[in-house]
């Protein structure tokens, strides 16, 4: 049996950045905590980014994850919104990076496929599967559920990578 790895999942957004913590051992995942880092609309962009960064640093300090997973930014129709999302993502990515925590990035479709089995799943399907896989998580805000989905995806991907490594070693 492998060791337990604590994973921080992140769903970045300028207004609301979801975060979720789970423990992964072999192919089992266990809920630890989840929440949302909110920024204040009344602050300047730089202050909002600092606010998000500080809140994620607090989560990292409290839960001490070993690895992190973050949803990649998708380009939407409004370039200004995409730019602000990218800036929020950068502020959030900086927190685990400065703590020496390796970060893996996944597209929304990769996360949906890993959690639901379909890359174009609806948000409600992702939420339902997060609650099915992590029964102790209780009621979640959508951003927190998406962050847990990123962590679940990372857990499955790392287990698959470990198994492939073992198979390659056996072939030698």
Task: Kindly state the greatest CA–CA separation across the chain.
Answer: 60
Alpha-carbon gap, residue 57 to 27, rounded angstroms: 28
Task: Write out the E strands in the chain.
Answer: 5-11, 16-25, 28-38, 67-71, 103-106
Q: Which residues belong to the active site?
A: 11, 71, 143
Number of Cβ within 10 Å of residue 97's Cβ equals 13
Alpha-carbon gap, residue 115 to 119, rounded angstroms: 9
């Amino acid at each position: 049996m492998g060791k337990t790895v604590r994973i921080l999942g992140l769903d970045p957004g300028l207004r609301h950045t979801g975060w979720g913590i789970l423990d992964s051992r072999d192919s089992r995942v266990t809920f630890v905590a989840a929440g949302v880092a909110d920024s204040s609309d009344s602050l300047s962009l730089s202050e909002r980014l600092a606010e998000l960064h500080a809140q994620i640093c607090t989560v990292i300090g409290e839960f001490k994850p070993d690895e992190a997973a973050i949803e990649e930014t998708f380009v939407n129709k409004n370039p200004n919104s995409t730019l602000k999302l990218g800036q929020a993502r950068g502020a959030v990515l900086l927190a685990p990076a400065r703590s020496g925590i390796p970060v893996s990035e996944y597209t929304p479709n990769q996360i949906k496929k890993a959690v639901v089995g379909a890359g174009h799943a609806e948000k409600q399907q992702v939420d339902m599967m997060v609650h099915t896989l992590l029964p102790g998580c209780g009621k979640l805000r959508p951003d927190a559920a998406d962050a847990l989905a990123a962590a679940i995806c990372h857990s499955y991907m790392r287990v698959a990578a470990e198994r492939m490594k073992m198979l390659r070693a056996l072939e030698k």
